[in-house]
Structure 1
Amino acid sequence: MVEALIFDVFGTCVDWRSSVAREVARTLPEVDAIAFAEAWRAEYDPAMARIREGARGYVPLGDLHLENLHRVADDFGVTVSDPVGLNAAWEKLDPWPDVVGGLERLRAHAIIAPCSNGSIALMTRLARYAGLPWDCILGAEIAGDYKPKRGVYLASCHALRLEPDKVMMVAAHNDDLRAAQDAGLQTAFIPRPTEYGPAQRKDVEPTGDWTVVAQGFDMLAERLGC
């Protein structure tokens, strides 16, 4: 029995690649917007790794995104006149077509919340933009660390006063689910085979023994009896 579902957001719930590229194109028409968005995203994990490894204290993801933006702009040889404004692109990401309706179905039967590396502020603004009907905001900031560290998943369970086996982690990324499973959570894999574009090779199919595999949030709701 699942009492709560917690969700990866970037890639699982929202299309960051196309959405960020759209904002880049508006701000920096002289660059390849998709290439810039992908390069910006590529800085995401290395920036968090320094924090996960203890080389730096916790810094909210919005701040890391801004630092990474300056680095990528330098690499592309461009100047961003309003970096704070462009950084807000990460708060304006379009949901995949199945997400909002699927979340509403799931929410009728269980608590739903993000378990994202995004900060509370970022997740709140993104939810308002994309219409994501969360019950609360969980994830990295309440843990003071970044996924896939075990403590991030357990902090979300603890905040809900639920044992890990009563909570299901939903993600399009096998490594995210593997870490959640190791922490004792149930798991659901939702493939997003174009998250990284048409040439994507990683995470196009499940690579673990997940509790549920579904092709979208509506199918997930059906599998859970919602």
Structure 2
Amino acid sequence: MQQIKALIFDVFGTLVDWRTAIAREAEQALAPRGITFDALAFADAWRDQYQPAMEEVRAGRIPFCKLDRLHRRNLDVVLADFGLDRVDETTRQHLNLAWHRLDAWPDVSAGLHTLKPHCRLAPCSNGNISLMVDLARRNDFPWDAILGAEVARDYKPKPTVYLSAADAFDLRPDEVMMVAAHSSDLAAAAEAGLRTAFIARPDEFGPGLGESAATVAVDVSAGSLANLAQQLGTACV
């Protein structure tokens, strides 16, 4: 494998456990108001709105906007679906920023710090820059830059998102490796000319409901970021 000069990362699901944190945040925000509901189902329903909302942008039906705005639109839909229209505006604003307060999987911070001396590191997420900064500060992610959808003004898996990340580092696509827990993300990155690494997150959508193995050809498959660093060895310089 050619030498890799930068690693770019999917964030939701790959680096952070969105499902557990969103369920926790929803419970903390709504339970004190006497609202009883299935918090994990609520988290799943909110996440289910994610791809359809971004497709509105990718297809050109609405202009590009930050993911925070799409999350808020999606939150209003899910609250209505759960019969929670009475939730007030202040609570909605607080709950929408729950995506800025997600917790990392246990291996992530240490793994990123292990990789940092050898490669430039950046998120390549559909999350907006302020969201990525807040997650980095919360979870000690040592980024060299914040890249992804807001820089590209489009959403993955559009090729421009991956290519703009490589261009930001003044690198060829084949000098950049996309790291993700989702085969579809990696397939799109490979189509754009990037190298790819799969990280198993088998519990992302609930116990045993995430991807344990890539369903597409990848350059590296790893069970953790530490394992990824071991496998890359001298390929990452």
Verify: 1:36 aligned to 2:38, yes or no.
no
Partner of 1:224: helix, strand, or coil?
A: helix
Partner of 1:14: helix, strand, or coil?
A: coil
Structure 2 stretches lacking a partner, 5+ long? none
Partner of 1:34: helix, strand, or coil?
A: helix
Letter in 2 for 1:10: F
Partner of 1:117: 126
Alignment check: 8 A CA contact 1:92 1:130 kept: no
* Aligned mates of 1:199, 1:39 — CA distance in 2: 18
Choose 28-37 or 164-173, whichever is displaced more: 28-37
* Aligned mates of 1:206, 1:73 — CA distance in 2: 34
Partner of 1:218: 226
Shift of 1:22: 0.5
Q: Provide the aligned length of Structure 1 versus Structure 2.
A: 225
Verify: 1:74 aligned to 2:77, yes or no.
no
Identity of aligned residues (%): 52
Q: How does 1:14-25 map to 2 (within 5 A)?
A: 14-25=16-27
* Aligned mates of 1:12, 1:89 — CA distance in 2: 17
Partner of 2:233: helix, strand, or coil?
A: coil
Letter in 2 for 1:116: S
Q: How does 1:1-226 map to 2 (within 5 A)?
A: 1-29=3-31, 30-78=36-84, 79-81=86-88, 82-200=91-209, 203-225=211-233
Structure 1 stretches lacking a partner, 5+ long? none
Shift of 1:12: 0.1
What is the TM-score of this pair, normalised by structure 1?
A: 0.97
Shift of 1:199: 4.7
Shift of 1:31: 1.4
* Aligned mates of 2:165, 2:116 — CA distance in 1: 17
Choose 161-170 or 119-128, whichever is displaced more: 119-128
Tell me which stretches of 4 or more aligned residues in structure 1 moved more than 6 Å: none
Choose 122-131 or 107-116, whichever is displaced more: 122-131
Shift of 1:61: 0.2
